[in-house]
Structures are given as structure tokens and as C-alpha cells.
Amino acid sequence: MSSFAINPRLEGDSFFVEDLPLSQVRLMKDANYPWLMLIPRGSDLVELIDLTAEDQQQLMREIAVTSTALRMATDCEKLNVGALGNQVSQLHVHVIARFRTDAAWPGPVWGAVPSISYEPEKADSLIADLRRALADAKA
């Protein structure tokens, strides 16, 4: 892989969770929704088609593993997966746990309600749960 730097906005809006073979997994700092982001390591990646065919397949495997882990850690009712990149062009994929009781249900999460910061111990606990679930999902 070529050089890798996370866009400052993506980094500032999220906590590090784990490195997968292709992507870094990060937890968004919005306690309204358990919300992960996968950021493939590489330079000048904007679209899925900027990845090699092999890396596209790896990213799909990582989306599946991350989705499984997020469902295990949160017991969510639905998972939303998307790669939009309208605000930040660096390639990243959102994996969001959704509940019928969440603030945006059934609509999209973007802009539905103001972001709520995690209490530090809640973020740490969720990250630990996600790391365990990722280990189980990869097994």
C-alpha cells in the first residue's frame, strides 16, 4: 500500500478502534448512533473504483466483518452501509447501527439531529466491545 494519511475531519470526528488488513476502523463521535467508519489505507483514494479489484474484494470482506461486529456489539435492528464522500472526498465507508427508537428512524442519520458527544467511559466501553466483536467476527 502507498502512503496513508487520514483526512483531519475524519480523524477529528472519530475514535480509533482497530486496523484491519486494508482499512482503519473508527467510531464516529456521535452517541446518537453506534456508527463505524472504514478508511482504506492508500493515497489518493476517492471512489471504490480507485481500489484494485483485489482491494475492492477485501473492502467488501471488511465491511461484512465490521457489520457483523457492530450488530454483535449493539444488537441493532438494521445496519446502514454507505460510501458518500460529499463532505470529505477521501474514500471511507460508513457502517451505522440503527434502531426503530433512534433519533432519525426511519430516515438517514445525516443532519437529522445535532451530534451528541460520548461520555468518555461510554466510548471506551463501546470500543472495547467492538474490538471483542471484531475478533469474534474475524474468527
- What angle (nearest 5°) sits at the alpha carbon of residue 136, between those of residues 57 and 51? 15
- Asked if the peptide bond before residue 40 counts as cis, ω within 30 degrees of 0, the response is no
pLDDT in tens, 64-119: 999 999 999 999 999 999 998 888 999 999 999 999 999 999 999 998 999 999 99
- Count of domains observed in the chain: 1
Average pLDDT of every residue of the chain: 95
The boundaries of the domain holding residue 94 are: 8-105+115-138
Record the cell numbers describing residue 100, joined without a space. 426503530
40 falls within a domain: yes
67 exposed, middle or buried (CB, 10 Å; 0-12, 13-18, 19+)?
Answer: buried
Which residues have CB under 8 Å from 26's CB, separation 6+?
10, 11, 14, 15, 16, 17, 36, 37, 38, 39
Q: What is the pLDDT of residue 85?
A: 82
Q: How confident is the model at residue 53 (pLDDT cuts 50, 70, 90)?
A: very high
pTM here is 0.94
CATH code of the domain in which 126 resides:
3.30.428.10
74 falls within a domain: yes
